[in-house]
């Protein structure tokens, strides 16, 4: 049976050193690939994340353990040959294969979103997953290849656009090859004609059966068969009742449920003839996506998987906090993927009608104001508006936030912090020179660019004109509600909103990523605000390893007196001077452009 290895783990998570595996896997020296870290292990060997120097891209390097048999070697080579035969966006690509230092290896496309093992998909995501996987399977079958091990663990995800790819083709075979008595695959996904015929009857309909079981599990979020022992599992495969998908998940559109149930029918003659046949019958989005939201949610304009908001089809919820919810969305005409942020309905509707209307106007006007400024370090807004009564805005997908990275990996290297600061200073210089104050420069609004090569400032919902009064004529406060990342003057009497609050935000972001903590010692917010108004803890005290010029610059940015802070342009110049002096000494090394670079 197969032992699948997932190579979609988060590269920011610490992993064992390469040297730890020298006893069973000699780490090969591959000329064009620099190995970064271990991201998975399996019976056959290990998988590393690497950087392909020529392609300038992340790759996965699959290395066979020295203890493996000739059969395992043949399986890995077969995987490379099969993947090289198929050029399709839903089948994992192979870039290279070979032997180095006596080790057999494959260089594969790197998928950073993990696998679908254990996932339950929203209706839009299930619709998309079915179409993608059917298309990839059809491509395999058209070149005469049977996958033979389709299951959620062998479906990998790309974070940037949600692309799914069939992976782990080590069990694949030419459909015209001579059958043998060997059974390969994973029992719970094997069709009856494989397990109970002699020789096993591998064919396109067996792959289709496995894909049907896979889609059913992605719809239900649970295994189709929960048998506790082998005998029970075999009995279920042969003649066990397949549960009704709509009984378990009533909102699942009938057309999708029927197609999946036909695919996983244990009687081969009742299954569709091919993946192409199912793909032709697979429904279009417009036919099924009007069933997901309740009448009450629709009346409020609340985002929910399957709903349409403007030109966007709402997908899975990605994240939420006290006041906002975040969703993956797809443009219904172009298919472009993006992210949508919308005020939480419970939070929004707990306020008075006047305050709600004021918020909706201010937040959407803030996004519209920032839209006029274009800069590579500003995450652009794609759309904004009000759905029902709830304001929302749409922006391109990006990577993790600075705050998330600090929480998972610890403080950044000094040269990486300088790169973040320069990007922030440049973005804010563009806004400030257009007369706009951002007001939300915090560690959770600064993100890794989608391509992983730099940093962007997002979250433009509180943008206002510099010099604006801090309250709207109708009494609505124009400042953000969150005090966690607020400059001292915003809560200590300033009556106008000035660009200095953004410069303080640069200091806050730099302090967090250099010290791994905020610039105050106190636990309670009230005490922290008082401490912040007095200047907080000097960076050198919190992070003694940081050089004096950078400590001095950060401390000046966090001055409680806004008149003593430099401008965003001056901040960028100061950070560039620090970077140049370090670079002249060769202290910044080769990989300083990587957002996740470490010393």
56 Cβ neighbours under 8 A, 6+ residues apart: none
Assign a CATH topology to domain 18-109: Phosphorylase Kinase; domain 1 (3.30.200)
**What pLDDT score was predicted for residue 11?**
29
Taking residues 551-575, report their average pLDDT: 97
Partners of 314 in the β-ladder: 329
What does the mean pLDDT of the chain come to?
Answer: 83
Confidence of residue 453 (pLDDT cuts 50, 70, 90): confident
**Every domain range in the chain assigned CATH 3.30.200.20:** 18-109, 295-395
Taking residues 277-289, report their average pLDDT: 78
**What pLDDT score was predicted for residue 526?**
87
Closest of 91, 93, 96 to residue 53, by C-alpha: 96
* Percent of the residues in the chain that have a pLDDT greater than 90, as a whole number: 42
**What pLDDT score was predicted for residue 240?**
73
Domain spanning 402-584, CATH architecture: Orthogonal Bundle (1.10)
- Whether 304 shows a pLDDT value over 60: the answer reads yes
Cβ 4 vs Cβ 77: under 8 Å: no
**What pLDDT score was predicted for residue 238?**
82
DSSP code of 490?
Answer: G
- Whether 598 shows a pLDDT value over 50: the answer reads no
589 Cβ neighbours under 8 A, 6+ residues apart: 415, 597
Q: What pLDDT digit, counting tens, does each position of 138-186 carry?
A: 988 988 888 888 999 999 998 877 889 998 876 656 555 445 445 566 8
Q: Considering only residues 3 and 556, tell me which one the structure prediction assigns the higher pLDDT.
A: 556
- Whether 541 shows a pLDDT value over 70: the answer reads yes
At 302, is the secondary structure helix, strand, or coil?
Answer: coil
**What pLDDT score was predicted for residue 69?**
64
**What pLDDT score was predicted for residue 590?**
42
Q: What pLDDT digit, counting tens, does each position of 412-421 carry?
A: 999 999 999 9
279 Cβ neighbours under 8 A, 6+ residues apart: 131, 134, 135, 138
- Whether 359 shows a pLDDT value over 50: the answer reads yes
Can you tell me the distance from the alpha carbon of 7 to that of 109, in angstroms, rounded to the nearest whole number? 10
**What pLDDT score was predicted for residue 332?**
79
- Whether 209 shows a pLDDT value over 90: the answer reads yes
Other CB atoms within a 10 A radius of the CB of residue 384 amount to 23
Give the homologous superfamily in CATH for domain 295-395.
Answer: Phosphorylase Kinase; domain 1 (3.30.200.20)
- Whether 589 shows a pLDDT value over 60: the answer reads no
Taking residues 402-418, report their average pLDDT: 92
User: CATH top-level class for 123-288?
Assistant: mainly alpha
Confidence of residue 79 (pLDDT cuts 50, 70, 90): low
Beta strands in 207-311 (DSSP E): 308-309
Confidence of residue 431 (pLDDT cuts 50, 70, 90): very high
Per the structure block, which two tokens stand in for 555?
A: 């401390």
Buried-state track 11-45, b at ≥16 Cβ within 10 A, e below 16: beeebeeeeebeeebebbebeebebbbbbbbbebb
Per the structure block, which two tokens stand in for 406?
A: 């600090």
* Percent of the residues in the chain that have a pLDDT greater than 70, as a whole number: 84
Q: What pLDDT digit, counting tens, does each position of 476-528 carry?
A: 777 887 778 899 998 888 899 999 999 999 999 999 999 999 999 988 888 98
Cβ 537 vs Cβ 521: under 8 Å: yes
377 Cβ neighbours under 8 A, 6+ residues apart: 423, 424, 426, 427, 430, 454, 455, 456, 457
**What pLDDT score was predicted for residue 68?**
57
Taking residues 314-340, report their average pLDDT: 86
Q: What pLDDT digit, counting tens, does each position of 13-51 carry?
A: 233 344 444 444 455 677 788 888 888 776 567 888 888
**Every domain range in the chain assigned CATH 1.10.510.10:** 123-288, 402-584
pTM: 0.57
Greatest pairwise CA separation for the chain in angstroms: 84
Can you tell me the distance from the alpha carbon of 296 to that of 557, in angstroms, rounded to the nearest whole number? 47
């Amino acid at each position: 049976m197969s032992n699948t290895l997932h190579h979609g783990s988060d590269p920011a998570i610490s992993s064992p050193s390469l040297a730890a595996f020298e006893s069973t896997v000699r780490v090969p020296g591959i000329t064009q690939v620099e190995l970064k870290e271990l991201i998975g292990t399996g019976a056959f060997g290990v998988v590393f994340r690497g950087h392909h120097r020529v392609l300038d891209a992340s790759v996965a390097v699959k290395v066979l353990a020295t203890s493996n048999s000739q059969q395992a070697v043949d399986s890995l080579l077969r995987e490379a040959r099969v993947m090289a035969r198929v050029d399709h966006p839903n089948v994992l690509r192979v870039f290279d294969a070979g032997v180095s230092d006596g080790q057999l290896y494959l260089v594969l496309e790197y998928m950073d979103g993990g696998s679908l093992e254990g996932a339950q998909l929203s209706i839009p995501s299930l619709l998309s997953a079915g179409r993608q996987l059917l298309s990839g399977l059809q491509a395999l079958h058209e070149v005469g290849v049977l996958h033979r091990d389709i299951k959620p663990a062998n479906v990998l995800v790309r974070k940037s656009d949600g692309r799914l790819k069939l992976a782990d083709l080590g069990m694949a075979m030419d459909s015209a090859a001579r059958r043998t008595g060997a059974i390969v695959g994973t029992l719970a996904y094997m069709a009856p004609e494989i397990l109970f015929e002699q020789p096993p009857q591998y064919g396109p309909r067996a792959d289709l059966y496995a894909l049907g079981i896979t889609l059913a599990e992605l719809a239900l979020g649970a295994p189709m068969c929960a048998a506790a022992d082998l005998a029970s599992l075999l009995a279920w495969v042969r003649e066990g009742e397949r549960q009704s998908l709509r009984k378990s998940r009533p909102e699942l559109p009938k057309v999708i449920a029927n197609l999946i149930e036909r695919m996983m029918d244990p009687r081969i003659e009742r299954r569709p003839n091919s993946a192409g046949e199912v793909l032709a019958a697979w429904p279009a989005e417009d036919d099924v996506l009007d069933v997901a939201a309740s009448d009450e949610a629709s009346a409020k304009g609340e985002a929910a998987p399957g709903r349409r908001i403007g030109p966007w089809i709402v997908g899975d919820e990605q994240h939420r906090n006290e006041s906002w919810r975040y969703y993956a969305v797809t443009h219904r005409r172009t298919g472009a993927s993006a992210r949508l942020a919308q005020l939480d309905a419970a939070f929004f509707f707990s306020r008075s009608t006047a305050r709600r209307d004021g918020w909706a106007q201010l937040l959407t006007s803030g996004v519209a104001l920032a839209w006029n400024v274009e800069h590579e370090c500003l995450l652009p807004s794609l759309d904004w508006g009000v759905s029902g009564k709830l304001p929302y805005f749409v922006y391109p997908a990006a990577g993790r936030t600075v705050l998330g990275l600090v929480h998972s990996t610890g403080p950044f290297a000094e040269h990486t912090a300088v790169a973040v600061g320069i990007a922030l200073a440049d973005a804010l210089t563009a806004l400030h020179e257009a007369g706009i104050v951002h007001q939300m420069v915090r560690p959770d609004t600064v993100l890794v660019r989608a391509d992983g090569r730099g940093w962007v400032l997002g979250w433009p919902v509180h943008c206002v004109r510099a010099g604006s009064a801090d309250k709207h004529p109708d009494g609505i406060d124009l400042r953000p509600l969150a005090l966690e990342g607020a400059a001292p003057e915003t809560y200590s009497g300033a009556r106008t909103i000035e660009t200095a609050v953004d410069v303080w935000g640069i200091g806050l972001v730099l302090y967090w990523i250099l010290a791994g903590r905020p610039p105050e010692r106190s636990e309670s917010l009230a005490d922290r605000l008082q401490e912040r108004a007095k200047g907080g803890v000097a960076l050198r005290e919190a992070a003694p390893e940081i050089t004096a010029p950078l400590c001095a610059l950060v401390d000046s940015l966090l001055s409680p007196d806004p008149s003593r802070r430099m401008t965003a342009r001056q901040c960028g110049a100061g950070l560039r001077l620090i970077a140049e002096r370090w670079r002249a000494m060769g202290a910044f090394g080769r990989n300083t452009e990587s957002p996740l670079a470490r010393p």
